Chain A
Amino acid sequence: MKGMTVIVKTISSWVKVLIFLFGINIVLFGHLTPGGGFAGGVILASSYVLLMLAFGREFAEKNLSLTAASRLDCVGALMFAAVALVGLFYGAASFFWNFIHQQYLADKATEFKLVSAGIIPLCNIAIGLKVGASLFLVILLLSAYRINVSTNKKE
Chain B
Amino acid sequence: MSDIPLVLPAFVCIPLVAAFLLPIFGSFGRKGRAAATALANLATISLLVMSIASINQFSVYNVGKWSIPLGINMVLDGLTGLFLITVNLVSSAAMLFSVRYMEQYTAKPKYLSLFMLMVAGMNGVVLTGDLFNLFVFLEIASIASYALVGFGCEDEQLEASFKYMVLGEVGSMFVLLAIGLVYGVTGALNMAYISKAVQNNSANVVLNFALALFIAGFGLKAALVPFHSWLPDAHSSAPAPISAMLSGVLIKVLGVYALVRTIFSIFGISSTVGNLLVVLGVVNMIAGAFLAIGQGDLKRLLAYSSISQVGYVFLGIGLGGTLLAAKTDSVWASLAILGGLFHLLNHAVSKSLLFLTSGSVEMSTGTRQLNQLGGLAEKLPLTRAACAIASASIVGIPPFGGFWSKLILVIAAIGAGVYWAAALIVAVSVCTLIMYLKVHRYVFLGELPESQRQIKENRGSMAVAMICLACLCVLIGLVFLVPSLRAEVLEPAAKVLSDGVRYADKIIEISKDMLVCAD
A residues engaging B (CB < 8 A)?
67, 70-71, 73-75, 77-78, 81, 84-85, 87-88, 92, 94-98, 102
Contacts and interface: CB of A to CB of B under 8 A. Distances in A.
Interface string B1-25: 0000001010001001100110110
10 contacts: A70-B27, A71-B23, A74-B23, A78-B20, A81-B17, A84-B13, A94-B62, A95-B9, A96-B9, A98-B518
B25 to A, nearest CB: 10
B471 interface: no
Contact of A88 (B7, B17, B24): B7
Given A74-B21, A94-B62, A97-B518, A67 B7 contact: no
A77 B20 contact: yes
Nearest to A153: B155
A73 B113 CA distance: 13
A85 B17 CA distance: 11
Contacts of B61: 95
B43 to A, nearest CB: 13
Instruction: Summarize B's interface: helix, strand, loop or mixed.
Output: helix
B133 to A, nearest CB: 13
A97 B517 CA distance: 11
B64 interface: yes
Instruction: Summarize A's interface: helix, strand, loop or mixed.
Output: helix
B20 A81 contact: yes
A30 B469 CA distance: 49
B518 A81 contact: no
Nearest to A78: B20
B513 interface: no
Given A81-B16, A94-B64, A95-B64, A102 B518 contact: yes
Given A81-B17, A84-B13, A85-B13, A71 B64 contact: no
A85 B7 CA distance: 11
Interface in B42-79: 61-65
A98 B20 contact: no
Contacts of B24: 71, 74-75
B21 A87 contact: no
Contact of B64 (A70, A73, A85, A97): A97
Contacts of B7: 88, 95
B27 A95 contact: no
Given A84-B13, A88-B7, A102-B519, A94 B20 contact: no
A102 B23 CA distance: 35
Contacts of A74: 20-21, 23-24
A96 B9 CA distance: 10
A75 B20 CA distance: 8
A149 to B, nearest CB: 13
B64 A78 contact: no
Contacts of B17: 78, 81
B98 to A, nearest CB: 21
A102 B62 CA distance: 16
A95 B124 CA distance: 15
A96 B27 contact: no
Contacts of A92: 65, 519
Interface in B502-519: 518-519
Nearest to A95: B9
Nearest to A76: B20
Nearest to A67: B27
B71 to A, nearest CB: 9
A81 B63 CA distance: 14
Contacts of A96: 9, 63-64
A95 B63 CA distance: 6
Among the interface residues B24, B61, B63, B518, which one has the most CB atoms of the partner chain A within 10 A? B518
B13 A81 contact: yes
Contacts of B27: 67, 70-71
Given A74-B20, A77-B16, 15 more contacts: A67-B27, A70-B23, A71-B24, A74-B21, A74-B23, A75-B24, A77-B20, A81-B16, A81-B20, A88-B7, A95-B7, A95-B61, A96-B63, A97-B64, A98-B64
Contacts of B63: 94-96
A75 B63 CA distance: 23
A95 B13 contact: yes
A81 B16 CA distance: 8
Contacts of A81: 13, 16-17, 20
Contacts of A84: 13
A70 B24 CA distance: 8
A94 B13 contact: no
A78 B20 CA distance: 7
Interface in B61-102: 61-65
Nearest to A119: B64
Contacts of A98: 64, 518
Closest 8 CB pairs of A and B: A96-B64, A77-B20, A95-B9, A94-B65, A74-B20, A81-B17, A74-B24, A97-B64
Nearest to A101: B518
B282 to A, nearest CB: 40
Interface in B418-450: none
A77 B18 CA distance: 11
A70 B26 CA distance: 11
B20 A87 contact: no
A75 B21 CA distance: 8
A97 B515 CA distance: 14
B23 A87 contact: no
B296 to A, nearest CB: 19
A97 B63 CA distance: 7
A92 to B, nearest CB: 8
Contacts of B21: 74, 78
Contacts of A78: 17, 20-21
A73 B22 CA distance: 12
Among the interface residues A74, A75, A78, A84, which one has the most CB atoms of the partner chain B within 10 A? A74
Nearest to A79: B20
A87 B61 CA distance: 14
Interface in B173-196: none
A92 B62 CA distance: 13
